[in-house]
Amino acid sequence: MGVDKTLAYQYLKKTDLSYETLGFREIYIEPTSPYKSYSNAERVKLPEVIFPETPNFFEILMKRRSERKYKKYPITLKELALLCFAIQGITAKAGPYLLRTAPSAGALYPIETYLAINYSEDLSAGIYHLEVRSFSLEKLKEGNFGKILKDLALGQAFFELASVVFIWSALLRRTMSKYGERGLRYIFMDVAHICQNLLLSAVALGLKACPVGAFLDQDFNKLLELDGTEERIIYMATVGK
Ligand SMILES: Cc1cc2nc3c(=O)[nH]c(=O)nc-3n(C[C@H](O)[C@H](O)[C@H](O)COP(=O)(O)O)c2cc1C
């Protein structure tokens, strides 16, 4: 079968920008809040980040590899704070927008970050949500979910030995309310920027990381109690040592 017959190609073709279609709106989608927080959850404030001495940026680029061999390293709160800052730290304000370390189409920030912490020196194992405005972690579930994460990631064994798994969801509405169907393209670009910030920061901190796209989507949505329509898991990365 030719690529042109695939759903993927049809989607790309239908969402190409051209002068003929510019400004044409195929659908109307209500906007929604750019922030999510779990107001009843126990909160752990992330410490203020103090930038450590790191290798030269270009050496970091040279060193980045997808690394999957970890040894249950108890990650520190300082390391977690630096990683969270790298992916979603607020670095400037522009009108109503809180601009972050990673770029986002239209500054709409459709990606939410969850951390499944397996091994930490300072935090109990569990699943947390990163609340970007207060730079804190909201505890959603207690316990080591390593074995479950491994099973839901199609048996990829390194999930169990990772210190933490970063799990990214997308709220389609945030971006699609402005960009319509084309918005989906931007959502995947957004999450890739976030992930690359994490991967490079992990190298900078002497940690190892691996991006992961192979997982059971609906089972991960269920684990995080996401409906899969308004919000769904789209990407993840393991971090360990
Ligand atoms: C979108 C995406 C999905 C990936 N999914 C997985 C995965 O599910 N499991 C895995 O072990 N590696 C995964 N990887 C890592 C790739 O296998 C890796 O980037 C590739 O082999 C090149 O190696 P390098 O990252 O060390 O340069 C993924 C990478 C990307 C960019």
pTM over the 0.85 mark: yes
Report the domain count for the chain: 1
- What the block records as the tokens of 63 is 């060193």
Domain span holding position 92: 3-240
Q: Kindly report the CA angle at 168 between 165 and 173, in degrees rounded to 5?
A: 165
For ligand 1, atom 1: residue with the closest CA: 213
Q: What is the CATH number of the domain that holds 80?
A: 3.40.109.10
What are the backbone angles phi and psi of residue 34, rounded to the nearest 5°? -80, 0
Among 150, 168, 191, 212, the mutation site with the greatest number of ligand 1 atoms within 8 A of its Cβ is 212
The C-alpha atoms of residue 41 and residue 53 are separated, in whole angstroms, by: 34
Give which of 122, 152, 142 is closest to 236, Cα–Cα: 152
Ligand 1 closest atom vs CA 67: 26
For ligand 1, atom 17: residue with the closest CA: 66
For ligand 1, atom 11: residue with the closest CA: 212
Question: What is the Å distance from ligand 1's center to 65 Cα?
Answer: 9
Digitized pLDDT (tens) for each residue of the chain, 241 residues in all: 899 999 999 999 999 999 988 877 778 999 999 999 999 999 999 999 999 999 999 999 999 999 999 999 999 999 999 999 999 999 999 999 999 999 999 999 999 999 999 999 999 999 999 999 999 999 999 999 999 999 999 999 999 999 999 999 999 999 999 999 999 999 999 999 999 999 999 999 999 999 999 999 999 999 999 999 999 999 999 999 9
Within 15-104, residue ranges assigned H as helices are 57-63, 77-88
Question: What is the Å distance from ligand 1's center to 212 Cα?
Answer: 6
DSSP reduced 3-state for 171: strand
